[in-house]
């Protein structure tokens, strides 16, 4: 008896969907899967702020699950539960979900899968998206180059992969432009998030005499070390950390996923979504440089805003180098 009810309901819902005419926002529900806590103050929080922006702008129903490891089975369990509840747009916000998302996109052709930082996609229901973070990193390099007095800048970096190496080189390009004598020393931690490892790495750099620290990490350890040693700090991800190390904080290349989430959801509602890859630069607002602290000299602040305009206008783009370090970087690409 119960089963026939269920079948009846399914038939009715299929009929309503088929006869529903033009799609609107109520036909869609978007689910987000995060690798870290939604309020980690870093990577996952940036995505969650984007999700809230999406809700405010479009009124779409959303849900999220946090702390899902980069593991195919874990992602699948969560995503399938959402699909059963009628969610038809699934955002996976870390690289490690890539294989699970690719498989599920084939299994569930009616569900749209959007994967952050991956490289796989198809031309119907599976797309990837990322931002040109190297652009604001270059701008933060201009600030760092101007602020170092010892001409030594430290960079605490997670993994020697193209995304990170590209960022270091763009940063070092900015440094070189304002201060040809300064060098950027890189220490790898081999973790995205490791408070102890990041602390050790930042201290090791301070011991070599650096007075400005930058990071491609998700915890504010580097900033706390900079603060304790009177050094300056370029953060990452969000303006988070300003509070943890207010004296050291200079600026941060930051993510703003909200506008992209709104765009892509509108495209889906209009029926124009066709998978593919999206790589947004500063002109889209996806990546930007956070407000500079008052310690940045005004001529450098002017230079940064000038370069920002050039990048946004498309007149200039920092070089993309991901195979090796440029000449003012100390460290090895493959330790």
Shortest distance, position 240 Cβ to other proteins, whole Å: 6
Alpha-carbon gap, residue 208 to 211, rounded angstroms: 9
Shortest distance, position 32 Cβ to other proteins, whole Å: 18
| Cα dihedral 306/309/315/318 (nearest 10) | 70
Q: Which of 48, 74, 197, 211 binds other proteins (CB under 8 A)?
A: 197
Shortest distance, position 238 Cβ to other proteins, whole Å: 10
# residues near other proteins by CB under 8 A: 42
Q: Which of 240, 257, 260, 273 binds other proteins (CB under 8 A)?
A: 240
Query: What's the residue count for the chain?
Result: 335
Helices (H) and strands (E) in the chain, counts: 10, 14
The verdict on 224 binding other proteins (CB under 8 A) reads yes
- Per-residue DSSP letter, 327: T
Residue span binding other proteins (CB under 8 A) among the ranges 79-87, 103-111, 138-146, 244-252: 244-252
219 vs 288, which CB is nearer to other proteins?
219
**What character string, x for contact with other proteins (CB under 8 A) and - otherwise, covers 25-54?**
-----------xx-xxx-------------
Shortest distance, position 46 Cβ to other proteins, whole Å: 14
CA distances from 205 to 126, 144, 154, 179, 218 (A): 42, 15, 6, 19, 18
Shortest distance, position 169 Cβ to other proteins, whole Å: 18
Q: Which of 8, 86, 180, 209 binds other proteins (CB under 8 A)?
A: 209
The verdict on 199 binding other proteins (CB under 8 A) reads yes
The two three-digit tokens of residue 256, written as one number? 């703003």
Nearest to 78 by CA among 93, 65, 88, 97: 65
Q: Which of 14, 15, 20, 190 binds other proteins (CB under 8 A)?
A: 190
In the beta sheet, which residues pair with residue 215?
156
The 3-state DSSP class for residue 155 equals strand
Q: How many CA atoms lie within 13 A of 4 on its CB side?
A: 1
Q: Which of 58, 65, 151, 200 binds other proteins (CB under 8 A)?
A: 200
β-pairing, 287-289 vs 253-255, is antiparallel
Q: Which of 96, 194, 275, 285 binds other proteins (CB under 8 A)?
A: 194
Nearest to 260 by CA among 275, 276, 280, 289: 280
C-beta separation of 253 from 141 below 8 A: no
61-65, strands of its sheet edge to edge = 61-65, 29-33, 89-92, 112-116, 126-131, 276-280
Q: Which of 49, 72, 120, 204 binds other proteins (CB under 8 A)?
A: 204
Q: Which of 87, 188, 257, 260 binds other proteins (CB under 8 A)?
A: 188
DSSP 126-175: EEEEEE-THHHHHHHHHHHHHH-SSSEEEEEES--SHHHHHHHHHHHHHH
Residue span binding other proteins (CB under 8 A) among the ranges 10-18, 20-28, 137-145, 237-245: 237-245
Q: Which of 195, 259, 275, 285 binds other proteins (CB under 8 A)?
A: 195
C-beta separation of 139 from 308 below 8 A: yes
203 vs 267, which CB is nearer to other proteins?
203
Q: Which of 76, 117, 120, 193 binds other proteins (CB under 8 A)?
A: 193
Shortest distance, position 251 Cβ to other proteins, whole Å: 17
Give the residues lining the site for other proteins (CB under 8 A): 36-37, 39-41, 185-191, 193-197, 199-201, 203-209, 219-221, 224, 227-228, 240-241, 243-246, 331-332, 335
């Amino acid at each position: 008896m119960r089963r026939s009810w269920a079948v009846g309901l399914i038939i009715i819902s299929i009929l309503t969907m088929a006869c529903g005419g033009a799609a609107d926002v109520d036909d869609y529900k978007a689910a987000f899967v995060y690798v870290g806590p939604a309020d980690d103050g870093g990577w996952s929080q940036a995505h969650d702020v984007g999700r809230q922006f999406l809700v405010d702008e479009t009124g779409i129903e959303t849900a999220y699950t946090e702390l899902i490891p980069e593991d195919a089975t874990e992602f699948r369990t969560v995503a399938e539960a959402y699909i059963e509840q009628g969610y038809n747009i699934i955002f996976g916000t870390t690289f490690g979900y890539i294989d699970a998302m690719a498989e599920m996109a084939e299994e569930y052709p009616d569900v749209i899968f959007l994967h952050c930082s991956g490289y796989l996609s198809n031309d119907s229901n599976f797309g990837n998206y990322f931002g040109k973070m190297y652009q604001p990193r270059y701008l933060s390099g201009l600030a760092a180059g101007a602020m170092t007095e010892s001409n030594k800048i430290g960079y605490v970096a997670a993994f020697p992969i193209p995304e990170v190496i590209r960022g270091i080189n763009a940063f070092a390009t900015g440094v070189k432009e304002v201060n040809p004598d300064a060098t950027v020393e890189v220490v790898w931690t081999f973790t995205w998030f490791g408070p102890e490892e990041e602390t050790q790495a930042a201290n090791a750099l301070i011991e070599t005499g650096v007075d400005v620290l930058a990071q491609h990490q998700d915890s504010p350890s580097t900033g706390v070390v900079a603060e304790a040693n009177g050094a300056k700090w370029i953060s990452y991800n969000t303006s988070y950390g300003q509070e943890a190390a207010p004296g050291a904080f200079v600026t941060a290349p930051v993510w703003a996923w909200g506008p992209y989430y709104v765009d892509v959801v509108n495209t889906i509602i209009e029926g124009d979504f066709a998978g593919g890859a999206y790589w947004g630069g500063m002109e889209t607002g996806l990546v930007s440089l956070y407000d500079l602290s008052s310690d940045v000299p005004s001529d450098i602040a002017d230079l940064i805003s000038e370069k920002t305009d050039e990048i946004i206008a498309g007149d200039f783009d920092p070089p993309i180098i991901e195979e090796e370090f440029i000449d003012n970087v100390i460290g090895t690409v493959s330790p």
